[in-house]
Structure 1
């Protein structure tokens, strides 16, 4: 059993069962994959590797509740696109041409990108399960990466034509995905022997076909050990569809949920459905604000007691870290609150309504709660798994800061992440990934260049214009 003693650190963590955070000096003992002691002045014992953490901060590993990991192979391709434009150009065009090798390298690079940024847990909505080979390639890379992942292949097929939009392989795809779901769930839903990768399911098709078919399939998935279900909600009634079908529960995470932004009534039926069922939100404020989803809702969710965490969404369009999500969401919530105060000519508050602890909680324990993993991860507490991030508090970005929570939320970046543990294993050390990044980068570049050559920007723009001229923008009220 590998043992580590982290000596002399400042620990910053939210505490399970509390809205508060705790910052204190202590040593942390890790035995195997478990945090076994958090005390001052723990004496080093034989067989324990000591890591000097003086002038360092220890936080929980960050939790990402909505990411499309494979899209790292398309990095920087979609940064200026609207969501509607993305659907036509990427989801209905580029995605269908990707090879298993391309999604595989995107998956591996995306998981390593997360680890580099201190993101130790990911809910991966994997919507490129085009064939069994594509699914197997992505799963293999996920397991190999060392990240903690709920891998959620999507129950959907790729369009066979977009002028008009047709899904000619739906029956065939549904059949093999159903069969593979039983295979993946056969070991209790554990896709890696140590349980670090578990089975989820992306399910965006609930508006298609009879309700009874969805009830049957979701029951089948639950019987085959799917741990988490995830679905996109932008401006549509998806939450109520799940509720009315009787399939909404605490194992469901809805990404975005921008439709809730202006639903302010205390007993609003969508908010109530989430709270009553225990379902959660995976908010992605950077992406939502940039691609015209609508306004973010994570801080409203906190206020209402609805489970909520943060996420990246598309790594092809957004940063791969939770730091950006924490500060973007927090500052937007503050700005929106200030705007309402000015418009309504209300007396300004004595303090900001939302603070650094709120954002930090969303990025750590809040995400763990959303994924039903708070008993294992999300805070630095005895008995929990050793998913930890060690920050260099003397770095250029953090030097001189005495509040690690505000420091992490407002000033930190990947360069300040010194060490990352996942399940007691060191995956980043001395500021560098343990896994050799150079060959991954080489293969990533090769695959990315091939995709861009296959889909030149002018070809994609022409497809988008053709669609827009014929149909207008896709209707987000259906999503």
Structure 2
């Protein structure tokens, strides 16, 4: 390559050494780290140089670098990128197959152990890539991916490479789990070596992708030697995060703060994110606060699958928001934010109404919901520079088309406009690390990645094969009267509702067909 062509290539990729972008004339949802609160700046400006926000002000900054790209955002809203602290990106190909599934069926059909052997490395790569582009399209710039597609060296590598290629800020957490459902088995001792090799050899330099660890056997009956080996390697390789599914109560998949504290790892230097934290105890909440560890509330998942969140509204000071299985519902954090906000309001209103009294205040604010979707995601990852618009923060930004959107037309409060009225369709542009990922309402893939051609074509071929295989395979999972193995509690039927009057089954059917 001739040196004089290098700037052209870098520009095509969405960045250039020393490149600057000035957003001016719009409304900025900034963050004041001194007061720990949102700061709305009208007719403001944000200057980005390389991957960082240089200045945030109510007027145009002085000393703008030469050749700065100036973006007029008059009438629009500039907000920080949303942070998703729980996702399984590789599952994208399962979309619409599980619209009415339960969690017991999920584990038996769509989860990490059931899917082992079903997806090739190519399936993992293209599914992960398509899922991450879907996230970027919705204004999600940071994703903590609980990557339990680690069934082999090849499938593990495929997901990591897809994360890097996506250009999203991915905390890719390698899942350690003993895979015995396929031949050859893939066990934790071998996975330790695989993880070390991946971290050593992956092209992570210059990418916003970082590596972490996922593990779901911290308790109630952990293999202490296995746990110690994983945590030791995580420390050695400077893993950015450790994450685990925590479903206490009748589910029996505890991985609770108490479990981690007993193992002596709740207060290590690596941040730990407990996904769901269903049936978190008061003691567990105290432990989270004392060690500054966070949970990831995934509202739509917990509604859909029924593992619920009975106490999460009481620990929002140590909470962030996630999506979980985006193949069953929304992939954007905006939807999760709105669902969580209104569910908390309903719960706390009901407590007053249950006493035959009338509430005179709103229990949860829109500001709090916005912070859970942005700032708190960064705090969960111990990254003070994520989820905020402030000098020195990462240039992960979303432009909301509040100027012409029918849904947002007439807005006054920009935070309320985003949380309560916007949709994914209103995301006009997205930047990660100061590089365009969506612009003019369309995803920007760059030189290597053409989303509207190659990615879509490859993904559809992969999804068709996977979906046909699953449609042709009967679903077998525990039914009423059986025992739920992880906890020993009985499985029972939930009451179903009916939309038909009189006799008949109004539950309906799913409309799936092999193609």
Give TM-score, length-normalised by structure 2: 0.83
Q: Which one of 407, 411, 415 corresponds to residue 405 of structure 1?
A: 415
Q: State the distance in 2 between where 1:195 and 1:451 align.
A: 30
- Count residues in correspondence: 454
Aligned residue for 1:101, secondary structure, equals helix
In the TM superposition, residue 185 of structure 1 has moved relative to its aligned partner by 3.8
In the TM superposition, residue 290 of structure 1 has moved relative to its aligned partner by 1.1
Contact 1:63 1:368 in 2 (8 A): yes
| Other-structure match for 1:49 | 69
Offset from partner CA, 1:445-474 (integer Å, 9 cap, x none) = 1111101221226x332x22xx43784445
Deviates more, 1:15-24 or 1:86-95: 15-24
Q: Which one of 90, 103, 107 corresponds to residue 110 of structure 2?
A: 90
Q: Which one of 271, 287, 299 corresponds to residue 251 of structure 1?
A: 271
Alignment of 1:194-343 (within 5 A): 194-207=206-219, 209-235=222-248, 236=252, 237-239=254-256, 240-249=258-267, 251-260=271-280, 263=281, 268-295=282-309, 297-302=311-316, 305-306=317-318, 308-343=319-354
| Other-structure match for 2:366 | 356
In the TM superposition, residue 438 of structure 1 has moved relative to its aligned partner by 2.4
In the TM superposition, residue 45 of structure 1 has moved relative to its aligned partner by 5.2
**Residues 1:450 and 1:86: Cα distance change in structure 2 (over 3 Å):** same
**Residues 1:181 and 1:417: Cα distance change in structure 2 (over 3 Å):** same
Q: State the distance in 1 between where 2:474 and 2:287 align.
A: 39
Deviates more, 1:192-201 or 1:354-363: 192-201
**Residues 1:245 and 1:335: Cα distance change in structure 2 (over 3 Å):** same
Aligned residue for 1:54, secondary structure, equals coil
Q: CA RMSD for the aligned pairs?
A: 2.2
**Residues 1:225 and 1:392: Cα distance change in structure 2 (over 3 Å):** same
Contact 1:73 1:105 in 2 (8 A): no
Bigger CA radius of gyration: 2
In the TM superposition, residue 155 of structure 1 has moved relative to its aligned partner by 0.2
In the TM superposition, residue 78 of structure 1 has moved relative to its aligned partner by 1.9
| Other-structure match for 1:443 | 458
Q: State the distance in 1 between where 2:103 and 2:55 align.
A: 47
Q: State the distance in 2 between where 1:155 and 1:420 align.
A: 33
| Other-structure match for 1:128 | 149
Aligned residue for 1:103, secondary structure, equals helix
Q: State the distance in 1 between where 2:224 and 2:371 align.
A: 36
Contact 1:298 1:329 in 2 (8 A): no
| Other-structure match for 1:36 | 54
Structure 2 spans left out of the alignment, 5+ residues: 1-17, 490-515
Q: State the distance in 2 between where 1:14 and 1:133 align.
A: 42
Contact 2:85 2:143 in 1 (8 A): yes
Pair 1:21-2:42 in alignment: no
Q: State the distance in 2 between where 1:186 and 1:455 align.
A: 36
In the TM superposition, residue 96 of structure 1 has moved relative to its aligned partner by 3.5
Aligned residue for 2:388, secondary structure, equals coil
Q: Which one of 107, 123, 142 corresponds to residue 128 of structure 2?
A: 107
| Other-structure match for 1:165 | none
In the TM superposition, residue 289 of structure 1 has moved relative to its aligned partner by 0.9
| Other-structure match for 1:12 | 29
Offset from partner CA, 1:197-222 (integer Å, 9 cap, x none) = 11101110223553243123312221
Offset from partner CA, 1:79-122 (integer Å, 9 cap, x none) = 21111110011124334321111111111001111111110000
Aligned residue for 2:197, secondary structure, equals helix
In the TM superposition, residue 316 of structure 1 has moved relative to its aligned partner by 1.0
In the TM superposition, residue 77 of structure 1 has moved relative to its aligned partner by 1.9
Contact 1:206 1:214 in 2 (8 A): yes
**Residues 1:220 and 1:180: Cα distance change in structure 2 (over 3 Å):** same
Q: State the distance in 2 between where 1:209 and 1:323 align.
A: 36
Q: State the distance in 2 between where 1:354 and 1:390 align.
A: 26
Contact 2:429 2:440 in 1 (8 A): yes
